[in-house]
A and B are shown apart, each in its own frame.
Chain A
Amino acid sequence: MNIPPAYVLTLSGVLFAFGIIGVLIRRNAIVIFMSIELMLNSANLALIASARMLAPAQEALRGHVFVFFVIAVAAAEVAVGLALIVAVFRSKESIDVDEVSSLRG
């Protein structure tokens, strides 16, 4: 691709900001979780763009390896997070985050 990597980095920054907006305005726990996935994904995009920027140095491949680990950790995170959401739904009959306020002082 023959465009400056700054464009791709900008796209990743904008997607990250939309993930933040999603976390802040939604109250459905699953949609909040999906917004977090969007942010992780935009961080991956920035890593890949940086790796392409530093290529053809062999060290640039470390960016790809890092993204590989981020995807593996995201998969583990989703498994545990969705199990927690299911557990909260069983006790509260709702996954609206406003309803989950038992720890409030």
Chain B
Amino acid sequence: MTIDLVLFLGLTLIAVAAAIAMIVSRNAVYSALFLVLNFLTVATLYLLLNAAFIAVVQITVYAGAIMVLFLFVIMLLGTERESLDGGRIRWQMPLAIVLGLGIAGELAYVLMRNDAAQRPLADLSAGFGSPASIGRVLFSEYLVPFEVTSILLLVAMIGAIVITRMQRRETK
């Protein structure tokens, strides 16, 4: 058992435990914090997979910006508590858990047996996945999608403002 495998199994344990804790937490604030833990674990896995730039983007954008937005909305609305009754459809939760664990088992079985993914990984030069190498691909081959992304972010920003403003005008 190599040190890499020990490291990977430890990270897997943390990631899966954080995901389960996120789903079962009754307080939405705890859910958000467990999701941050999961994102940080996945960022560490990105580092192990030679994706340094993506790991940093994951931490700043996902674990930083997006989760702060989530926590802000949870605390703004004050709806972190959820009632404990079973909801309108009583059999929904047990059925969802059985089906979800079923798809988890099937996905794990199929992906584990994937022949192409069994080969050991090739050694890489230090530059793979660095900001410079990603930037070179991004600004040559993918320049148009990159610019379209900026329009998408602008539209999302305007959309978010319009949705909240419209509501305020109606309540006046």
Residues of A within 8 A of B (CB): 1-22, 24-28, 30-31, 33-35, 37-38, 41, 44-45, 48-49, 51-53, 55-56, 60-62, 64-65, 67-69, 71-80, 82-87, 89-91, 94-96, 98
Contacts and interface: CB of A to CB of B under 8 A. Distances in A.
Nearest to B78: A89
Nearest to A40: B62
B153 to A, nearest CB: 5
Interface of B: 2, 4-5, 7-8, 12, 15-16, 19-20, 22-23, 28, 31-32, 35, 38-39, 42, 45-46, 48-51, 53-54, 57-58, 61-62, 65-66, 69-70, 73-74, 76-77, 79, 82-83, 87-88, 92-93, 96-97, 99-101, 103-104, 107-108, 110-114, 116-125, 128-129, 133-134, 137-138, 141-142, 145, 149, 152-153, 155-157, 159-161, 163-164, 166-168, 171
A78 B138 contact: no
A1 B49 contact: yes
Given A10-B111, A84-B163, A25 B96 contact: yes
Nearest to A17: B104
Contacts of B168: 90
Given A80-B163, A98-B87, A17 B100 contact: yes
A26 B22 CA distance: 11
Nearest to A45: B42
Given A1-B4, A75-B61, A96-B82, A52 B88 contact: no
Contacts of A30: 28, 70, 73-74, 77, 79
B23, B53, B118, B163: residue with the most chain A Cβ atoms closer than 10 Å: B23
